[in-house]
Structure 1
Amino acid sequence: MTGFLKIERDGHVVTLTLNRPEKRNAISTAEECAEVADTCRALNRDDHVRVVIVTGEGSSFCAGGDLKGMRDRTGITGGHSGAEIRESYRRGIQMIPLALYEMDIPTIAAVNGPAIGAGLDLACMCDIRIASEAARFAESFVKVGIVPGDGGAYLLPKVVGMPKALEMSLTGDPLNPAEALACGLVNKVVPPGELMQAAHAMAERIAVNPPQAVRLTKRLLRESQHMRLSTLLEMSAAYQALAHGTRDHREAVDSMLEKRVPHFEGR
C-alpha cells in the first residue's frame, strides 16, 4: 500500500479519500492505481459493506494524471516506446475502472473540487455523483495532446450522452457545477460544507435496503446497457429467482405486512 487512500468505515458505509492534497490528488504511479484497484476488489468481497463514497482530500477531487510524470515519461505514463506506454496504461490507470466501475456495491462520488481528466473519469466510474459548489469538471485530455486512456470514452457518453461527451472531449472546456447538473453529469449540487453530509445521507438511503437485492439491481442496470431486451429479461428472471430465495426478501415482505421497521442481514 502507498497510503494514497484514506479508508474510513461508518457502519455499512465506507469512504475512500484520495489523500495526496499536495498534488491535488493526481494519480501518479502504478502503485497508487494498484492500491485503488485492490481496495475496491477487497471491499466488493466484504458482505458488510453496502455503499462506498469516493472523495478527495483538500481542495481538489482529483486533478487527473501527473503532468510532470507525463513530461518525463515516468509513473503511469512511463515508457519511451509505444509498446511500453501501452503497457503502462494497461497495468496502471486502466486497473481502476476494471475494479471501481465493475463493483457490485453502489458507489457515490463526493466531488469536493476540480475533477479534471482522469479525475472526471474517476467520478464517472461511480454510480452517483454529488458535487460541491466548488467543483469543476473537464474531460481535458485533448488539451495536453492525448486521448482518454482510462475508459473515459466509454464512461462519459453513458453519463451525459454522446453529443455532450463529444463536446466536452473535443473542446476540453470545463463545466461549472450548474452546467454539470444541467447535463446530468451530477445528481445534486450542495454548498462545500454540506457535501459529505449529503453523500452520507444518500448512502444511508441506499444502505437501508436489502444488500443482496441492491447489488443484483446495480448489476442488472449495468448489464442492461449492452443487452437486447430478450436477453435482459432472461437475466432479470434469474436474478429475481435469487432475490426471492433470500431471507431479506421474506423480512421485507413480513415487515410491510406487520407495519414495522425491517432488519436486513444480507442473507
Structure 2
Amino acid sequence: MSDPVLYEQDGHVVTMTLNRPETRNAITEMEVVDAIIASLERAQGDMSVRAIVLTGAGPAFSSGGNIKHMRDEVGTFSGNSAQIRENYRRGIQRIPRAFHELDVPCIAAVNGPAHGAGCDLALMCDIRIAGESALFAESFAKVGIIPGDGGAWLLPRAVGLSRANEMIFTGRAIDAKRAAEWGLVSSVVPDAQLMETALTLAREIAGNAPDILRMSKRLVREGQRMDLPSLLELSAAFQGIAHRTADHREAIAATFERRAPNYTGA
C-alpha cells in the first residue's frame, strides 16, 4: 500500500499530500494519523522548511472519518463508550495537537470536499485556498456524532459563532464561494490553478527569515488565548531576539542595497 502522506520538499517549501484517494483521504485510521504527525514533526525539526502546502490526492481534500469503519465499529470506532473516548484521544485528536505545536506556516490547498474531520483539518492550517470545486461541511450531525477533533474550537474562530453554529447544527455543506464570503478561506481559484497558487504563496512566505516566520506564527497562536498586555510582553521578548539575529541585519542591509536578502536562519 502506498504511503498515507507524501512529503516532498522543493527549496524551502514542503508539499504534504494526503494519499488515500480510495477512502477520499479519510484521516481516522491510525497509520494515517501517524503519517500526518510524522510529517509535521519532520517539518518542525527542519529549519530549512519555511512553509508547508497541505492538499489531498484525487478528487477530495479529505472525507474526515471513515464511514465504513463507523458502520462496522472497527478501528477508532470500536469498543464501548470509554474505549472510543480513548481511541479519539490516542488517535485523531493527536492531529490538532501536532498542528498546534507546528511553528511552520501551513497553507491548505483544498482541492475538493473537506467534510467532517477533513474540514477541521483545513481549519488547522494557517491559510486556506480553495479550488472552485471545494466544499466544506461540519457534517458530524449527519452521521449522528459531534465534532470530535477540535472543530467546535476551530470553526468559530474562522467564521464567527453564528455561522459556525449553523454549519455544526445543520451539517450542511457550503461551497467555495460561500466559504470565501464567510472568511473560511482566503481566496477561491480555478481547480487547475489551485496548487500553483498555493505554492506561489508558500514561496513568497518562504522568502522571509525562518526564525521570524516561526516566531510570528507563535505570537498569533498565543494571541488567541492571551490578553493584550501579556501578548505585548511576549512580543517584546521575541523582538529582543529578532533584533540580534544575523537575518535581521541581512534584511536591513538588503533594503539599503536594493537587493534580495539571503537568509540563513542565523
- TM-score bracket, shorter-length normalisation: over 0.9
| 1:187-206 mapped onto 2 (5 Å cutoff) | 187-206=186-205
Structure 1 runs of 4+ off > 4 angstroms? none
Distance in 2 between residues matched to 1:197 and 1:2, nearest whole Å: 24
Question: What is the CA-CA distance between 1:244 and the residue it aligns to?
Answer: 0.9
Residue 37 of structure 1: aligned partner? 37
Residue 134 of structure 2: aligned partner? 135
SS of match in other structure, 2:174: coil
Residue 90 of structure 2 corresponds to residue 91 of structure 1: yes
Residues 112-121 or 29-38, more deviating: 29-38
| 1:199-218 mapped onto 2 (5 Å cutoff) | 199-218=198-217
Q: One-letter code of the match for 1:118?
A: A
SS of match in other structure, 1:65: coil
Question: What is the CA-CA distance between 1:71 and the residue it aligns to?
Answer: 1.6
Residue 66 of structure 2: aligned partner? 66
User: 8 Å contact 1:50–1:207 — kept in the other structure?
Assistant: yes
Residue 154 of structure 2 corresponds to residue 186 of structure 1: no
Q: One-letter code of the match for 2:18?
A: L
Q: TM-score, normalised by structure 1?
A: 0.97
Residue 246 of structure 1: aligned partner? 245
Distance in 1 between residues matched to 2:132 and 2:2, nearest whole Å: 30
User: 8 Å contact 1:142–1:172 — kept in the other structure?
Assistant: yes
Q: One-letter code of the match for 1:20?
A: R
Distance in 1 between residues matched to 2:9 and 2:238, nearest whole Å: 29
Residue 119 of structure 1: aligned partner? 118
Residue 152 of structure 1: aligned partner? 151
Q: Which runs of 5+ in 1 are unaligned?
A: none
Residue 9 of structure 2: aligned partner? 9
SS of match in other structure, 1:134: coil
Question: What is the CA-CA distance between 1:162 and the residue it aligns to?
Answer: 1.1
User: 8 Å contact 1:255–1:261 — kept in the other structure?
Assistant: yes
Residue 23 of structure 2: aligned partner? 23
SS of match in other structure, 2:107: strand
Q: Which runs of 5+ in 2 are unaligned?
A: none
Q: TM-score, normalised by structure 2?
A: 0.98
| Residues 215-234 of structure 1: per-residue CA shift (max 9 Å, x gap) | 10010011001111110111
Distance in 1 between residues matched to 2:2 and 2:223, nearest whole Å: 36
Q: One-letter code of the match for 2:116?
A: G
Instruction: Number of aligned residue pairs: give it.
Output: 266
Distance in 2 between residues matched to 1:58 and 1:123, nearest whole Å: 16
Residue 233 of structure 1: aligned partner? 232
| Residues 154-192 of structure 1: per-residue CA shift (max 9 Å, x gap) | 111111111111110001110011100000000010111
Question: What is the CA-CA distance between 1:195 and the residue it aligns to?
Answer: 0.4
| Residues 209-259 of structure 1: per-residue CA shift (max 9 Å, x gap) | 111111100100110011111101110011101111211000001111122
Question: What is the CA-CA distance between 1:102 and the residue it aligns to?
Answer: 2.6
Residue 266 of structure 1: aligned partner? 265
Q: One-letter code of the match for 2:123?
A: C
Residue 161 of structure 1: aligned partner? 160
Question: What is the CA-CA distance between 1:77 and the residue it aligns to?
Answer: 2.3
| Residues 55-87 of structure 1: per-residue CA shift (max 9 Å, x gap) | 0001000011001111222122222x1110001
Distance in 2 between residues matched to 1:27 and 1:84, nearest whole Å: 19
| Residues 20-75 of structure 1: per-residue CA shift (max 9 Å, x gap) | 11111112411211111122112101101000110000100001100111122212
Residue 47 of structure 2 corresponds to residue 47 of structure 1: yes
User: 8 Å contact 2:119–2:137 — kept in the other structure?
Assistant: yes
Q: One-letter code of the match for 1:175?
A: I
